[in-house]
Every structure is written in structure tokens, then in C-alpha cells.
Amino acid sequence: MENIIRGRVWKFGHNVDTDVMAPWSSLGQPWEERRKLVFHIRPEFVEQVRSGDIIVAGRNWGCGSSREHAPENLKRLGIAVVVAESFGRIYFRNSVAMAFPNIVCPGVHDAFDEGDEMELDLATAQVRNLTRGVELQGHPYASEMLSILEKGGLLNVLRERLAGQSEK
Amino acid sequence: MAMTMAEKILARASEARSLAAGEYVTATADRIMAHEAFGACARTLLQLGITRLFDPDRVVVILDHYFPAPTPAAAGIHRVVRQLAERFGIRHFLSHAGICHQVLSEWGYILPGHLVLGTDSHSTTYGAFGAGGTGIGLTEMSYVLATGELWMQVPPTIRFELVGEQSVGLMSKDIVLHIAGAFGTEVAQYRAIEFAGPVADRMSIASRMTMSNMGVELGAKFAFFVADEQTLAYLRERTDERLALFGPDPDATYAGVHEVDVNDLEPQVACPHNPGDVKPVSQVGDVGVDQAFLGSCTNGRLEDLAVAAQILKGRKVHPGTRFLITPASQQVYLEATAAGYIEVLLEAGAHITPAACGACPGAHMGVLGTGEVCISSTNRNFRGRMGSPEADIYLGSPATVAAAAVAGRIVDPREFWTETTLS
């Protein structure tokens, strides 16, 4: 996992929920169909997002359902990281399990405009707005979560555990 | 050390003598619930070469999110789930008994003090029995099925002391919507809730389930009521397991204590498109409804259907409105039929669907079209939740939904529900 992430910012508001990120009608669809249905609140985002882009959001990003298609779809769209004021906790856990990074950073919503360049250190959660020259301190991941992210997700932790058992 | 309910449950589940909020633990689940998601989880395990679960007898598998299958693809998933449940030796395969949270509760699978992990965010419902229920995704469920374990952080707890007198026409849904509006949908973010106080103590099990269910809409990891004599009486009819009262230590530490006075509280309605955008029903304005939906793990229980039947008795569903009712389980459906509620509702012009999640997540049996308005007894009014992103969803109590079905618009249910109607 790369610790330093740099990218162009897409900005979202508060309470963007999992049903918006992964509507029921999109579940189980092949990606090309799914892509047309996700984030219906902002069609231009899905059309124009590029691999390595970053999302800055307000409070409660990912509130709602336990469907992990929400972080999965963001990963598929090429989003490198979401930096938000706060997160829905199931979405946040699911993201850790799928090795998709999200950083809590108070003040981030006001510190960025759409199109600004961000540089983020995942290990320290230092957030820089390169366009404005502003620096913010996010909440670094606890070591328990960081180790899952670094291993590439919870299924890799399970693989390691199984390998350890078979060696015994 | 004095502990909250969350601390006690996670201490027991991680074999720690005591725990405090903020600590990380590896917890073993007492009960594991998977709906249609079981198919994907079991496939993942087979791909990893895992052919045996940690403990198949802790696992309950149920088909509820899209039963009966609305598409060939859904039917195919149900088939796979059935096959894999058999292959992994799941004895507690409940097929199509109703919505997971209602069925696990009424079949006695949820016990006070236990840790319950489920592939559904509304697993907080189990808090109504003093159980630590919380929702997880497919990847975490795959890990739990294989190992029984999951990392967890011990959440701080906030208490809501519910005081006052619950007047006629005011349901527990109104109280929890009021909390969402007054305290915000993040009041319990990364936290556990304990609902307490005299109103909580007097509340029926079904009403408690509604509030615990909505706990996740307040951000909560767990949403508890104390397991009291009423809880034990409910469970004794459903399980042979040893049962004990369960609650927090008297001097446990809380991150916050909020008093909520229900005296003079009006029925509450959450307006589009967030469960926290709550207004008293008198301030919602003139909103005509195309669909009134009564159902879901939030409010599809017998007492909810009873209220609807009381309101619809001798009345008709408004000609411009369709009133869809989805009982939360086959058992609820049967009891509502025996009590005569279903006949009253049918005579009034309501439509009754099979017991399942149905319209709530926009799966089928009541999906909304562009420009439509729905008043719903469910938990989420997110944009597009029940179908078209161009539909408006309002959330209310079963009484508010039933009253809207009669009036064709959102009205104060107390116009139709008085002391005399209920006697």
C-alpha cells in the first residue's frame, strides 16, 4: 500500500449514504451496468472521475447499509482515498476489510474546493491542500486497522491465518 | 470495574475480565446471522479452500431480502444459498420465514448478553433483548464464518433516559424519530446506545425492537434496552437456554446522558431524504401520498398491524393511494389473521404481501416510480432507497402510515386514533 497519496479532489456534502453509492437496482449487475446507476445524485462525477482522484466529504459519509458494494464501487471508479469529517461506521469497517482507505479529518470539508490538489500521508493522516497551501491533521488509523489495510484486506489476513494453521 | 452493556458483552466475548471504551479486542460471536449474503460469503470461503465453518450451529441463514424471487437472477442466488447452507451443515436454515431480525427474535435465537453479528445494518434490533447486535459486510462475515472472530473497538455508550407519559397515538417510532431530529443522525456515531428510563421500562418488546432497529440510523454500533422480566418472559416461550437479567453496572461510565421527555410529543415524520430531517406531523405541510407502506424490520410487527387495523376499521383506503402491508414474518401474518386484523385491512382496501423485506430497500412489491410520494413505516428515506431517485419518501409510525392511507395525505394519526377506538 502506498503511504503518500496525491490527487485531484471531488467534493461532496454531508450524509452521502450507501444507497446512493450502491443503489439496490445496481446490486449484482455487471460493472458496466452498475456504473450507470451509482452516484445518481451526481452523474458528471461518474462520467469524469479518473483513477487516483480523491473524494473530500462532509459528515457521515457512507451512512446506512452494510452493503460493501459502496466502498467496492468507489474502488472500481478509481478513487484513491476518501477524506471526510466523519464516516458511517459500517462503511468504514467494510472499507478496512476491503483495503480501501478512508481518513477522518476534521475541517477538511471547508479546507478544499473541487479540483484542488491534495497530498495525504496515510500513516500519519497529514492532509495537505497543495492548491491553497493549507495543512490539516487527520486521525491516523489505529494499528489494528492499519495492519489489515497493509495486508491488502481481511481475506489476506484469513489466508495468512490458514497458512499458519497448516504449517503447525 | 463498572461496565456498560457494550463493555460487558465485549469483555465476555473476548474473555477479558473487564474492558473500557476505546480498547481493541478480538471478539467471538455467540450468534451469526446471514441472509442472501451467505451465498457470496460461502463461495469466498470455498475459493480460499475452507470447507468447514467455525461453528455451523451458531449460524442462522435466512432468505428475506428478495423473497419471493423477483428475477431469475434472484431465484438463482436463493438456489445457491440453499445448496451452500446444506454443504456447510447449517441446521438453522430458516428459508422464507420472514425478515431476519423479526424471525431470529421470535424463534428465540437472540439472548441477553450475547454478541450477534449479522450481514445487515439493522442487526442493532437485537439490542431490544439486551444483545449486542451489529451489522457487518460480506468480507467480514466471511472471516467470521471461518473463524468465529472479529476485531472490535469497545464503543463509548450514551444513554437516553426516556421520561414522561406516552400519550395515545404516540408510538416508539415517534420517539426515536424525535431523537434523530433533535440530536442528529450522528449522536451515536462510533458509539453504543442504552435506552432507559420509565418509558423504556413500560415499552413492549415490539416497540423496543423498533427503537433498537433505528439505532443504526443514529450511527450506533449497538442500541440496547435492559433485558428485564418482560424480556425473559418473551424468551422463555421461545428457547430452553438458561436466561438471566442483563443490564449495565449502576456506576458505569457514559459518554453522555440525555433526557428525552415524551410528554406532549407529537407524532413525528422524517422528510426526504434523510432520517434526521424530522418534523412534528403538524409542520410537514400538505403532502399527498401515492403509496403508504406498512412493514419492515422496523415496524411490521403484530402491534403495528393492530394499530393499522384499528385506524382502518370501518374506513376505506383513499382512492388515490395504495396501501401496501408487508408483515415482518409468517408468524406475524398468521397472528394478525387470527386476530382479524388482516380481514379488516383487506376490507378497507389494503394490499397484503408475503413477509419479506420487500419495498423497504426497493427490492420489489412496492417500488416507487418517478415523481411518486410514499409514507413509510421503514427506517430509511434516502434518495432512491425504494426505487426511483426522483421519488420522495417520508418516514412515520405505523399509525401515521395508516392514517395517511385513509386521508390520502400525511395527517396527524390522532384524528383517527383515540382512546375509544383502542378500547
What ipTM goes with this model? 0.97
Q: Specify whether the CB–CB gap between B23 and B154 falls below 8 A.
A: yes
A147 pLDDT more than 50: yes
The residue of A25, A61, A73, A93 whose CB has the most chain B CBs within 10 angstroms, and thus the best one to mutate to test that interface, is A93
The residue of B35, B47, B139 whose CB has the most chain A CBs within 10 angstroms, and thus the best one to mutate to test that interface, is B139
The string of pLDDT tens digits covering residues A83-121 is 999 999 999 999 999 999 999 999 999 999 999 999 999
Q: Is the dihedral of CA B154, B243, B29, B64 positive or negative?
A: negative
What was the pLDDT predicted at A168?
58
Share of chain B above pLDDT 90, in %: 97
Cis peptide before B351 (omega within 30 of 0): no
Name B256's bridge partners. Answer: B158
| CA B146/CA B58 separation, integer angstroms | 12
B108 pLDDT more than 60: yes
Mean pLDDT in residue range A34-40 = 95
**Domain boundary assignment for chain B:** 5-260, 277-422
**How many Cβ atoms sit within 10 Å of the Cβ of residue A58?**
17
Fold match, B5-260 / B277-422: yes
**Domain boundary assignment for chain A:** 4-167
pTM, whole model, 2 decimals?
A: 0.97
| CA B272/CA A19 separation, integer angstroms | 14
The residue of A155, A159, A161, A162 whose CB has the most chain B CBs within 10 angstroms, and thus the best one to mutate to test that interface, is A155
Q: Which CATH number fits domain B5-260: 3.30.470.20, 3.20.20.80, 3.30.499.10, 3.40.50.300?
A: 3.30.499.10
B195 pLDDT more than 60: yes
Chain B residue set in contact with A, beta carbons under 8 Å = 24, 44, 48-50, 73, 77, 119-121, 135-140, 142-143, 146-147, 151, 153, 185-186, 189-190, 216-217, 219, 221, 274, 276, 361-363, 380, 382-385, 389
HSE of A106 in the Cβ direction (CA atoms, 13 Å)?
1
Name B224's bridge partners. Answer: B194
B277-422 carries CATH number 3.30.2000.10: no
B389 to chain A: which residues are within 8 Å by CB? 23, 40-41
Mean pLDDT in residue range A8-33 = 96
Question: Are B143 and A97 within 8 A, CB to CB?
Answer: yes
What was the pLDDT predicted at B421?
47
Rg of the Cα atoms in chain A: 16
What was the pLDDT predicted at B417?
85
CA neighbor of B378 nearest in space, from B213, B198, B196: B213
What was the pLDDT predicted at B423?
33
What was the pLDDT predicted at A2?
73
pLDDT band at B419 (very low <50, low <70, confident <90, very high): low
What was the pLDDT predicted at B422?
43
Question: Are A60 and B221 within 8 A, CB to CB?
Answer: no
Find cell 457494550 and name the residue. B6
Fold observed for domain A4-167: Aconitase; domain 4 (3.20.19)
How far does B140 lie from chain A, in Å, by closest CA? Answer: 6
The string of pLDDT tens digits covering residues B52-101 is 999 999 999 999 999 999 999 999 999 999 999 999 999 999 988 999 99
Mean pLDDT in residue range B181-199 = 98
B420 pLDDT more than 60: no
B166 pLDDT more than 80: yes
Average pLDDT score over chain B: 97
DSSP A15-37: --BHHHHS-GGGTT--HHHHHHH
Question: Are A154 and B136 within 8 A, CB to CB?
Answer: no
The string of pLDDT tens digits covering residues A131-142 is 999 999 999 999
Question: Are A60 and B382 within 8 A, CB to CB?
Answer: no
Mean pLDDT in residue range B185-206 = 98
What was the pLDDT predicted at B58?
98
